[in-house]
Chain A
C-alpha cells in the first residue's frame, strides 16, 4: 500500500539550514505537500509541489522533488527558533476517495539558539 516515510527528529542551530527528507511510494501522486504543526495547534499547509516540477522556492523554503527516487525534501534557510515544529510530508491517496491525503509520521525540528 501507499506509505510516506520521514525521520522523526532533526536538530539544528539557529541560522543554519534545515533539510527534512521524505520518501513516498505512490508514483501517481499529482501533488506532494508539506504541513507544519506548531506546539498545541493543528496542521497548516506550508507548501506543495506539482509532480511535474523538480523544485519550488518560496522565500526561505525550498522544496526539491526527485520523482525517480520518490524523494521529497524541504529546506528551510536561515532557520529560526520560530521554525521549531513538527513537519509532515503528505501525498494524495489516489487509491482512496477524493480529498484523502497520506501523511508521514512527522519530523520534529528543534532549533537551538
Chain B
C-alpha cells in the first residue's frame, strides 16, 4: 500500500507570508495527487487535483506542484482565512490521505 507522508505537521505563519508544505509518496504516483483544506468544524474542500490543477473557485494564491513521489502545496500571501488543516491524497483506487499539516496564523 502506498503511504503518504506530510511535513511539517504544523506551521505558524504571519498574514502575507508565503508558505510551502510537503507531501511524499512511498511509491511513484505520477501526478495523481490532490490537496484538500479543512477548517475546524467543517468538511474538507478540494483545492488542487492532478498535482497542479486548481479546483473551481480556488484562489490563485494556492499552487500545487511536484511529480512522482514529492509534492508541494504553496500558498502565496497567506490570508487569515487560510488557517486550516491541509491534506494530500493519492487519487485512483485505494485512495490514501496524508496525515495533514496544520497551518496556524501568528
A interacts with B: no
